[in-house]
Structure 1
Amino acid sequence: MEALDLARWQFGITTVYHFLFVPLTIGLAGVVAAMEAAWIRTGNDTWLRATKFWGKLLLINFAIGVVTGIVLEFQFGMNWSSYSRFVGDVFGAPLAMEALLAFFMESTFLGLWIFGWNRLPRWLHNACMWAVAVGTLLSAYFILAANSWMQHPVGYEIEDGKGRLTDIWAVLTNSKQLVTFPHTIAGAFVTAGVFLIAISCWHMLRKQHTDVMRSSLKVGLWVTAVASIAVAVSGDLQAKVVTDQQPMKMAAAEALYETERPASFSLFTIGTLDGDEELLSIRVPRVLSYLATGDFDGEVQGIDDLQAQYEAEYGEGDYSPNIPVVYWSFRLMMGAGIAILAVSVVGLWLTRRGRTPHRRWVWWIGLAALPLPFIANSTGWLMAEMGRQPWTVFGVLRTSDSVSPTVGVGTVATSLITLTVLYGALAVVEVWLLLKYIKIGPPTSEEVRAELEPPAADEDRPEPSLVY
């Protein structure tokens, strides 16, 4: 393998790994803030115990996410220095905003929330977690703005062979960004909702902490159902924007080689995905046309026609991505999303009007749903990023021209192996910590009320000296 291949593998592994934590952090921050607000409004200790329990899991996930995110950004200088030099003036602006504004906002108010339980007024303490939730949304917005610029570059010009930012507002309000952000955030709340469902079902299966878990389960089901609908609506809008801006990606998602009007959607295909050895393909007529254009009779361009168009525009080369990866990522993402919506709807029906299911298989289904949002998130990003190839910045900079010219195979291989092993160790730590505190469960009413007692004054503490 060449250094380019290894650099792509390394960035892909670290990105997908990091994105396992990000959606859960974004979704859980809002859920924990809402639970604490419910406790303040009702005075019900159940919500306070739930806040403490889910808040602890949020802190564990946040810490691991920060570590993996920092390493991720270092790779722009390590393996992709040509890319960084070419677009650093544009790409760096939203990333700087994320670090200086959003991340510091998250970490500062999270620290106040952790240490301010018995030192801050209740409303102010809750406001700290709401600030964390807002900070996570801002962080996501700025990072997605940078990524959306790579998908659909706007607000820049090429000067002396490098990209120069001319309109930051155009970058932040990119049409690609305006559909990607709500889709990603909705997916984050789906992730948090399913996390609540699965953990609550595990405790309900063991008949532990049922008061807290019953309330948490209800919250998780509603969050998942509403967010799943938002994912579907925003995903539909995103598909139409992708078709307009990156038609090759949509063609690859269907393995559509010839332009069709109307175009059918294949639920799955057994064969080579090039039409030469298609053994079985189950198709739904006209659905791809609607997904791509909003019209059941709409035309969808094929890979071969787009390849000829791009060769005429950009020169010789292969402008199609890895078709099997994009094709199956699209279906795994959609399949996981449909399964999640089904779980939430069935769960809301089974728990309606305060009912508690008594059949164990109900709890097992809820627990088994835990991997689904992570599968959907990961495959969605694979489709988005792999479907853009061979471009790093679509239509402007190719991936082959973005890699560091002086970094050899040995160097990239060493960092790839090191980071993979390190991330594997972090995964073990993350899972161990989560399982430990999940098994412990929420604190009792007596424990949480004791923690809310104001700190005792230390009469023996000397007055601070003004002389050092």
Structure 2
Amino acid sequence: MVEVLDLARLQFAVTTSFHFLFVIVTLGLAPFVAFMQTRYAITGKPVHERMTKFWGQIYVINYAVGIITGLLLEFQFGMNWTGLTAYTGNIFGAPLAMETLVAFFLDSTFLGMWIFGWGRLPKFVHLLLFYLVTITAYVSAFWIIVANGYMQHPVGDVVENGAARLADLSALLTNPNALAALKHVIAAALLIGGYLIAGVSAWHLRRGTGDRDVHGRALRLGLLVAFFASWTTSIMGFQQVDLVARTQPGKIAVINPGKVQELGLPPGDVSAGTAPAWIKGFFDWMLTVGEIYQYVGLIFVLMLIGKFIERRKLVLRLLTWLIPIPFTAVVAGWLVREVGRQPWAVYGRLKTEDAVAPLSFGPVLASLVLFTLLYVVAVGTDWFLIARYARRGPDGSVLGRTLADTEKRDRSDEAVTPAF
């Protein structure tokens, strides 16, 4: 049974880690696209329209593939974690159901209307649709974090006949653990979105692919937002550490020795909830990445003066190389949050070994291999498509393009293609 538990935990870690990468890009890019389109709606300048279509298309690609990974993730609870469902389904199920309704119905509907509304809807109506896309994306994230916050620090419930039932909805929705995590995730998402935009823009500027105005504006916007987001991420993270020290002293005793004593808190039953020692390495990596981006980001922002940064190819190359590093910090933070509360599935209430389904080794191993392959394919597809359209630049955008535009572009391509 120990082997089955390890496989089930590994499968859940793989699927949620991969899916979270899509979520963080969605949350990170949406406000940028909304801002770009707002400027276009107000000023009517073509440069803002091109920026909106270019980054909006990358947003749509990530969203579409991310939906697939989200559907796969829903199978986890029914397949391997029937004990968790039996104990906390009355509480855990409600936020998950709300997230599904928001993400798969409202968010998808608004995004579809936005995609096909180019040139067909008034500018401000079309803009409103993407604001609704952004809002519902963040509302969806809120419901997920509410569910996870209950697992980290159960509140607003009563236990009857061995199962938790909701007793106080407001306590569940205002769980300090969930709200602190939400603020930390939002700041980290804006950091990732900012450096993704800055890195792609830097690639175009370094190679001189054209549209310097488009990429220069995007570079400046991405770096400015990412700089402030890096400091906000750090502040929200340390606030979260203080909070977790009060609710999960065993986790803090490992990742930040001395914090429990510093706050003057009783150690509690630390031995029952002490995180594995290797988690500290991931915590330290997350802190290191945060500090790097805070101070390197300050240098980048200062180099924006007089557009100095746009003329330094080595710096532009560095910006492109910096794109993937924040993603590793995000995964490290997730591991600290989830693995750090072991051996509890619901902290202090339900052990992980009691949450797993009574399955044999073979089926769990088979599902682990299958889900891992599916997620690797999804991540590879997402990366390939984003990289492909990012290299094409604004001229490669298909958002808002009519059939006549496509035929005109095809004829233009044929006219400049040499015959062999």
Q: Do these two structures clear the TM 0.5 threshold for a shared fold by scoring above it? A: yes
Matches within 5 A, 1:308-327: 309=269, 319-324=273-278, 326-327=279-280
Note closer, same or farther for the CA distance 1:117–1:409 as it changes in structure 2 (3 Å cut): same
| Aligned equivalent of 2:361 | 409
Give the Å deviation of 1:320.
Answer: 2.1
TM-score, length of structure 1 as denominator length: 0.82
Distance 2:31 2:366 in 1: 39
Give the Å deviation of 1:441.
Answer: 0.6
Note closer, same or farther for the CA distance 1:451–1:338 as it changes in structure 2 (3 Å cut): farther
| Aligned equivalent of 1:99 | 100
| Aligned equivalent of 1:251 | 253
Q: 1:210 aligns with which of 180, 195, 212?
A: 212
Distance 1:339 1:184 in 2: 18
Judging by fraction of residues, say which structure has more helix.
2
Matches within 5 A, 1:180-259: 180-208=181-209, 209-254=211-256, 256=257
Q: 2:320 aligns with which of 360, 363, 367?
A: 367
Residue pair 2:227, 2:297 contacting (<8 A) in 1 also: yes
Give the Å deviation of 1:310.
Answer: 5.3
Note closer, same or farther for the CA distance 1:168–1:114 as it changes in structure 2 (3 Å cut): same
**Greater RCO structure (CA 8 Å; 6+ sep):** 2
Q: Which amino acid aligns with 1:181?
A: L
Give the Å deviation of 1:321.
Answer: 2.1
Residue pair 1:57, 1:434 contacting (<8 A) in 2 also: yes
Q: 1:422 aligns with which of 374, 380, 384?
A: 374
Residue pair 2:115, 2:399 contacting (<8 A) in 1 also: no
Note closer, same or farther for the CA distance 1:200–1:129 as it changes in structure 2 (3 Å cut): same
| Aligned equivalent of 1:5 | 6
SS in 1 for 2:121: coil
Distance 1:319 1:431 in 2: 38
| Aligned equivalent of 1:458 | none
Residue pair 1:228, 1:340 contacting (<8 A) in 2 also: yes
Note closer, same or farther for the CA distance 1:438–1:201 as it changes in structure 2 (3 Å cut): same
Q: Which amino acid aligns with 2:214?
A: V
Matches within 5 A, 1:24-423: 24-208=25-209, 209-254=211-256, 256=257, 263=258, 289=259, 298-299=263-264, 309=269, 319-324=273-278, 326-405=279-358, 407-423=359-375
Give the Å deviation of 1:356.
Answer: 4.4
Give the Å deviation of 1:448.
Answer: 8.3
Distance 2:234 2:404 in 1: 45
Distance 2:396 2:91 in 1: 51
TM-score, length of structure 2 as denominator length: 0.91
SS in 2 for 1:443: helix
**Percentage of identical aligned residues:** 39
Residue pair 2:216, 2:310 contacting (<8 A) in 1 also: no
Residue pair 1:23, 1:188 contacting (<8 A) in 2 also: yes
SS in 2 for 1:404: coil
- Please give the per-residue CA displacement for 1:185-217, whole angstroms capped at 9, x wherever unaligned: 111111110101111111111012321110000
RMSD: 2.1
Give the Å deviation of 1:344.
Answer: 2.3
Q: Which amino acid aligns with 1:31?
A: F
Give the Å deviation of 1:412.
Answer: 0.4
Q: Which amino acid aligns with 2:181?
A: T
Q: Kindly indicate whether residue 388 of structure 2 is the aligned counterpart of residue 440 of structure 1.
A: no
Give the Å deviation of 1:46.
Answer: 1.1
| Aligned equivalent of 2:416 | none
Give the Å deviation of 1:219.
Answer: 0.8
Give the Å deviation of 1:357.
Answer: 3.6
Residue pair 2:246, 2:265 contacting (<8 A) in 1 also: no
Note closer, same or farther for the CA distance 1:319–1:354 as it changes in structure 2 (3 Å cut): closer
Q: Which amino acid aligns with 2:301?
A: L
Give the Å deviation of 1:300.
Answer: 7.1
